[in-house]
Amino acid sequence: MEWTLEASVDELDHGLYLLDLGFQNRKQVVAAYLLVSDDELVLIETGPGSTIDHLRRAMRRIGFTSRDLTRIFVTHIHLDHAGAAGLLARENPALTVHVHPFGAPHLVDPTKLINSATRIYGDQMGPLWGEFAPIPENQVVPFEDEQVLRVAGRDIQVYFTPGHAWHHVAFWDRGTGTLFTGDVGGVRMPGQTYVCAPTPPPDLDPGAWANSVARMEALHPRRLCLTHFGPVYDPGYHLSQVMPEVEKFIGLGGDLFERGADQDRVRQALTAQMTADLGGADPEVLANYEMATPAYMAAMGIERYVRKRNG
């Protein structure tokens, strides 16, 4: 499933483009979305710093450069969603980056975020994620819950949606019925029915997650746009699968941790569960799920949650 520039752009409807960022040179792992109007160019999600060249090349295919961007919206500050925001802001001082207020300080000074990620990824930090640059404070704008922003000819409403991360938000395009879910809406590869729940550390909270899913369901979206990966046209079914999958992962991993299993044993069990749920799909599809939501990260998140739950 090698990424190609020719297949990196998909016009979903007038003024809305899906950009495949070619994470680790694979297609259909990390997406960004571009909103286009006569006077604004808005990017939803940036991908990591390691994919910024793919982002630039995809934008050039539809006649734009990164310096044409007016705003960036990120669902949360995890490296695969906001990692390139600082690089884009550095080359475009007029650009504003919008983020949950809890995430804003970490975009201005990403030291803690980088140190935390480095403890996990070690010498793979650079190859996986690239540079995570700080953003000048005057270029960072915090969201407010339920605020409506008129951007690129659209009314975009912001919903705070914790559960996957405390600083997570979703974006509701009221005119088209499109909901940009980030990771709280789960991971689902094109052509598959399996919805995987990404449960990384440190903020996993199934109660908050359930409330966030209920909040999204109440909007009755006509289409979901997932960061991992792409548009979903059966939103009712898809959202109904998210919490059962969260609970399945936590139940499976939590039971093993309670019985003394280590993280590697839990990782293996989660991978086996994903494989079974995919029901014999192409191994390349499983590989894309694994790249979008690594089982070892899910195991780490569940272990932290179980320790916190047990006091």
**How far is 151 from 142, CA to CA, in rounded Å?**
15
pLDDT of residue 139 exceeding 90, the answer is yes
**How far is 142 from 29, CA to CA, in rounded Å?**
27
- E strand or H helix that includes residue 9: strand 9-13
* 234-247 residue pLDDT tens: 999 999 999 999 99
Mean pLDDT over each residue of the chain, to the nearest integer? 96
SS3 178: strand
**How would you label 129-138 residue by residue, b for 16+ Cβ within 10 Å and e otherwise?**
bbebbbbeee
Per-residue pLDDT, 281 = 79
Per-residue pLDDT, 79 = 96
CB-count exposure of residue 294 (10 Å: 0-12, 13-18, 19+): middle
Per-residue pLDDT, 1 = 85
Per-residue pLDDT, 286 = 94
**How far is 230 from 232, CA to CA, in rounded Å?**
7
Q: Is the CB of residue 4 less than 8 Å from the CB of residue 26?
A: no
Per-residue pLDDT, 63 = 96
Whether the ω angle into residue 202 lies within 30 degrees of 0, i.e. cis, is yes
* 198-209 residue pLDDT tens: 999 999 999 999
Average pLDDT, integer, range 117-145: 95
Q: Collect all residues with Cβ–Cβ distance below 8 Å to 237 and sequence separation of at least 6.
A: 193
- Please determine whether the domains at 1-141+150-154 and 156-311 fall in the same fold group of CATH: yes
SS3 109: coil
Average pLDDT, integer, range 276-296: 93
In whole angstroms, how far apart are CA 132 and each of 67, 77, 189, 258, 293? 18, 11, 27, 36, 20
Q: Is the CB of residue 10 less than 8 Å from the CB of residue 91?
A: no
Beta strands in 174-290 (DSSP E): 178-180, 223-226, 230-232
SS3 231: strand
- CATH superfamily ID and name for 156-311: Ribonuclease Z/Hydroxyacylglutathione hydrolase-like (3.60.15.10)
Strands 223-226, 178-180: pairing kind: parallel
- E strand or H helix that includes residue 307: helix 295-309
Per-residue pLDDT, 280 = 78
Sequence ranges of the domains in the chain: 1-141+150-154, 156-311
DSSP 2: B
In whole angstroms, how far apart are CA 283 and each of 118, 131, 198? 29, 30, 19
Neighbours of 287 (CB within 10 A): 14
Per-residue pLDDT, 311 = 79
User: pLDDT tier at 213 (50, 70, 90 boundaries)?
Assistant: very high
**How far is 200 from 168, CA to CA, in rounded Å?**
13
Q: Is the CB of residue 23 less than 8 Å from the CB of residue 51?
A: yes
* 150-167 residue pLDDT tens: 999 999 999 999 999 999
Tell me the CATH class for 1-141+150-154.
alpha beta
**How far is 110 from 113, CA to CA, in rounded Å?**
5
Average pLDDT, integer, range 239-265: 96
Task: Return the closest-CA partner of residue 68 out of 152, 175, 133, 158.
Answer: 152
- The residue written with tokens 């991360």 in the block is 165
